[in-house]
């Protein structure tokens, strides 16, 4: 059996602090709100809490634009509040993971404020500056959040690179001083006692230094920057250096957010014998429903390709690297709406089925706030209700350039937009779902009256209780952590069936992803096996799977 590690045995819970719990009535979630809910998380059974950025930030991108890495955002509280949260978490044996955003800072970070001033400013080379090309942008790259990836700066008549918003200038990792500063920041948080890091777009930190134009497809506004920024020439050198200089000195959990990676890349970033990170978030399963306009599409995730991709990751990393498992995060729509069925009839069952499918796989599971309640997408009625800059910018870009009609864009935002994940956590059925006594910064999903934590924690048949049981099973059965994965019935159009095996123990997991009954005869060797969890709670017929049924057999 491969080496045992606490981070392989852990279940992580992600908190988006702005939307989790408001303790002082200003409508914005905060650190004291999180501290007040630690017992809830302890009861759920998770081990690690990853908190999206809480550092000082002008909030162009809700904290993913940091202006001071060693200070807490005023809206979220103080450093004392943070220290209290950390010690209260540790008292309960809960670990805290910080979100490190190191590809870029805010344009209000003192480094950038200096950098833009003059060519000879000591901070000039902290960022990526280029001369205009024929009076225009240095190349044809587009920003992730619409428009060019270059912003003109009058002071020196040059452009700076921002692959996200123009308030998120990219750091120049080629500069040794930048890397030293960043490693010192990591060290500072480690000394404080935090337990790990999620590293934002960490595979974008090394750019191809010639900054060439990207290939431009017909009808597209910008060239493809990905080949020149993702998994760039020096990325592994940088991460090995970071590991050697700081990460390796502490016992941490580290996960890199890496879009555009293959299992081959992941083996480098998170291989058992490469000294970089513990694991990465891959995105292949989250882009299966992309269409002509990228994520703005009403395409559904195709089922057989989904199984093939998730299985590919399971097989490829077996014995040589570690997977992270997720359906949701603060950038993704709610999984029950995306891949299940959020109608009254099937919301519960399909949420539980999706939880089973994910949490029984091999890897460290990440549960996003509200996923454990079966929270759904929200129906935003008009543009005024949206808050996310990605949405606001995309609306302008697509509508202005006549690539899509306004109503069409709103429909896509409701299906795929990031604000779906950012509506307030639904704690109870009181006003504003118990999230705030004030006016919430973003609308609460009206379904809080029947989807909320309070009504679920003491109901043994709730989505919450079901997740709690899935987490408990991972603690109880070693094969669920260390057992190898195998996919059965690869081309079955409705059922996701796989096994986990460790020594003589094996588990059979069967999930029906559709609302129709499906016949399936379980393999002979499982006939005597014990059913350890079933979302209908009354496994009746071994040859039939009911709508959205999920069932797990355990054989010792």
The position carrying tokens 């919301």 is 347
d(CA 297, CA 292): 7
Question: Interface with Ca ion includes 28 (CB under 5 A)?
Answer: yes
The span from the CA of 525 to the CA of 241, in Å, is 49
Is 388 a binding residue for ligand TEU by CB under 6 A? The answer is: no
CA distances from 273 to 240, 254, 269, 363, 405 (A): 12, 15, 10, 17, 50
Nearer to ligand TEU, 295 or 546 (CB): 295
The least CB distance from residue 269 to ligand TEU, in Å, is: 15
265 binds, among Ca ion, ligand TEU, none (CB under 5 to 8 A by kind): none
Q: Would you count residue 55 as binding ligand TEU (CB under 6 A)? A: no
By the rule CB under 6 A, 164 interacts with ligand TEU: yes
Q: How far is Cα 430 from Cα 451, in angstroms, rounded to an integer?
A: 12
368 in contact with ligand TEU (CB under 6 A): no
Q: What is the token pair recorded at 189? A: 């948080």
For residues 254-278, one letter each, b for 16 or more C-beta atoms within 10 angstroms of the residue's C-beta and e for the rest, the string is bbbbbbbbebebbbbbbeeebebbb
Spatial distance between the Cα atoms of 502 and 193, rounded to a whole number of angstroms: 35
Which of 64, 141 has the CB closer to ligand TEU? Answer: 64
Shortest CB 203 distance to ligand TEU, Å: 9
Q: Which of 200, 341, 372, 390 is an active site residue?
A: 200
**Residue 144 binds ligand TEU, judged by CB under 6 A:** yes
- Measure Cα distances from 543 to 256, 328, 484 in Å: 42, 32, 25
Q: Is 513 in the site for ligand TEU (CB under 6 A)?
A: no
> Taking CB under 6 A as the rule, does residue 418 contact ligand TEU?
yes
Q: Which does 47 bind (CB under 5 to 8 A by kind): ligand TEU, Ca ion, none?
A: none
Q: Do 302 and 494 contact (CB within 8 A), yes or no? A: no
Q: Is 369 in the site for ligand TEU (CB under 6 A)?
A: no
Tokens of 102: 């190191």
Nearer to ligand TEU, 97 or 545 (CB): 97
Residue 284 beta carbon to ligand TEU: minimum distance, rounded to whole angstroms: 12
Strands of 150-195 (E only): list them: 150-153, 158-161
Q: Work out how close the CB of 26 gets to Ca ion at its nearest, in angstroms, rounded to a whole number.
A: 4
What would the x/- binding string for ligand TEU be over residues 199 to 218, using CB under 6 A? -xx-----------------
| Contact of 517 with 544, CB cutoff 8 Å | yes
We find the least distance from the C-beta atom of residue 215 to ligand TEU, in angstroms, to be 19
Smallest distance, Å, CB 197 to Ca ion? Answer: 25
Q: Rule CB under 6 A: say whether 225 interacts with ligand TEU.
A: no
d(CA 370, CA 349): 16
Question: Can you tell me the distance from the alpha carbon of 163 to that of 182, in angstroms, rounded to the nearest whole number?
Answer: 19
Which of 305, 517, 527, 299 is CA-nearest to residue 416?
A: 299
d(CA 347, CA 350): 5
Does residue 18 belong to the site contacting ligand TEU (CB under 6 A)?
A: no
Site residues for ligand TEU, 100-139, by CB under 6 A, read 101
**331 is an interface residue for Ca ion by CB under 5 A:** no
Binding of ligand TEU by 282 (CB under 6 A): no
- The 10 Å Cβ neighbour count of residue 132 is 13
Q: Does residue 41 contact residue 13 with C-beta atoms inside 8 Å? A: yes
Can residue 295 be called a binding residue for ligand TEU (CB under 6 A)?
A: yes
Instruction: Compute the CA torsion angle 482, 483, 488, 493 (nearest 10 deg).
Output: -30
- Sole residue written with tokens 């921002």: 162
Residue 295's binding partner among Ca ion, ligand TEU, none (Cβ under 5 to 8 angstroms by kind) is ligand TEU
Give the one residue of 390, 397, 419, 549 binding ligand TEU; rule: CB under 6 A. Answer: 390
Q: How far apart are CA 554 and CA 556, in angstroms?
A: 7
Query: Which of 99, 257, 341, 397 is an active site residue?
Result: 257
Query: Is 30 a residue that touches Ca ion (CB under 5 A)?
Result: yes
> How far is it, in rounded angstroms, from Cα 201 to Cα 14?
17
Nearest-approach distance from CB 27 to Ca ion, in angstroms = 7
Which residue number, 261 or 361, has a Cβ lying nearer to ligand TEU? 261
Cβ pair 371, 332 in contact under 8 A: no
Q: Is 69 in the site for ligand TEU (CB under 6 A)?
A: no
Q: Is 257 a residue of the active site? A: yes
Active site residue 200: yes
# residues contacting ligand TEU (CB under 6 A): 14
Binding status of residue 331 toward ligand TEU by CB under 6 A: yes
Instruction: Decide: is 259 part of the binding site for ligand TEU (CB under 6 A).
Output: yes
Indicate the helix (H) or strand (E) that contains 18. Answer: none
The first and second tokens of residue 86, run together, are 């950390």
Q: Which residues in this chain contact Ca ion in the complex, by CB under 5 A?
A: 22, 24, 26, 28, 30
Q: Which residues in this chain contact ligand TEU in the complex, by CB under 6 A?
A: 61, 64, 101, 144, 164, 200-201, 257, 259, 295, 330-331, 390, 418
Active site residues: 200, 257
């Amino acid at each position: 059996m491969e080496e045992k590690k606490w981070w392989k045995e852990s279940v992580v819970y992600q908190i988006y602090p702005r939307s989790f719990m408001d303790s002082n009535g200003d409508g914005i979630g905060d650190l004291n709100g999180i501290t007040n809910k630690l017992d809830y998380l302890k009861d759920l059974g998770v081990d690690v809490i990853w908190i999206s950025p809480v550092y000082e930030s002008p909030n162009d991108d809700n904290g993913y634009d940091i202006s001071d890495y060693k200070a807490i955002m005023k809206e979220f509280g103080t450093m004392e509040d943070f220290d209290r949260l950390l010690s209260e978490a540790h008292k309960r044996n809960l670990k805290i993971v910080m979100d490190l955003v190191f590809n870029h800072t805010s344009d209000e970070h003192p480094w950038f404020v200096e950098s833009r001033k003059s060519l000879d400013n000591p901070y000039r080379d902290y960022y990526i500056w280029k001369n205009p090309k024929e009076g225009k942008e240095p190349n044809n790259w587009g920003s992730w959040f619409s428009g060019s990836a270059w912003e003109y700066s009058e002071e020196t008549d040059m452009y700076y690179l921002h692959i996200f918003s123009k308030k998120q200038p990219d750091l120049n990792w080629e500069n040794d001083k930048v890397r030293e500063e960043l490693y010192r920041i990591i060290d500072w948080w480690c000394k404080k006692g935090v337990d790990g890091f999620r590293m934002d777009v960490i595979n974008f930190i090394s750019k191809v230094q010639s900054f060439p134009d990207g290939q431009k497809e017909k009808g597209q506004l910008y060239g493809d920057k990905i080949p020149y920024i993702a998994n760039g020439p020096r990325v592994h050198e940088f991460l090995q250096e970071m590991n050697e200089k700081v990460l390796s000195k502490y016992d941490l959990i580290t996960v890199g957010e890496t879009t555009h990676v293959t299992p081959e890349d992941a083996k480098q970033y998170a291989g058992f014998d490469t000294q970089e990170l513990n694991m990465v978030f891959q995105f292949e399963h989250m882009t299966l429903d992309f269409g002509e306009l990228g994520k703005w599409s009403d395409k559904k995730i195709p089922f057989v390709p989904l199984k093939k991709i998730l299985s590919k990751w399971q097989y490829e990393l077996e014995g040589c690297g570690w997977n992270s498992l997720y359906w949701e995060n603060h950038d993704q729509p709610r999984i029950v709406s995306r891949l299940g069925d959020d109608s009254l009839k099937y919301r519960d069952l399909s949420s539980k089925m999706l939880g089973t499918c994910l949490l029984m796989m091999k890897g460290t599971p990440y549960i996003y706030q509200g996923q454990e309640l079966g929270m759904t997408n929200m129906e935003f009625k008009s543009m005024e209700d949206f808050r996310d800059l990605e949405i606001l910018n995309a609306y302008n870009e697509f509508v202005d350039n006549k690539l899509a009609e306004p109503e069409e864009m709103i429909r896509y935002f409701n299906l795929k937009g990031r604000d779906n994940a950012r509506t307030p956590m639904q704690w109870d059925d009181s006003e504003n779902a118990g999230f705030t006594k004030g006016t919430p910064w973003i609308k609460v999903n009206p379904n809080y009256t029947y989807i909320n934590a309070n009504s679920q924690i003491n109901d043994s048949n709730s989505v919450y209780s079901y997740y709690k049981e899935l987490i408990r099973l991972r603690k109880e059965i070693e094969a669920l952590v260390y057992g190898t994965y195998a996919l059965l019935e690869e081309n079955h159009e409705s059922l996701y069936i796989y096994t986990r095996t460790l020594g003589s123990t094996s588990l059979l997991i069967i999930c029906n992803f559709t609302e129709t009954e499906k016949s399936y005869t379980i393999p002979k060797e499982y006939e005597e096996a014990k059913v350890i969890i079933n979302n209908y709670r009354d496994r009746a017929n071994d040859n039939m799977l009911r709508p959205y049924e999920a069932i797990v057999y355990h054989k010792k």
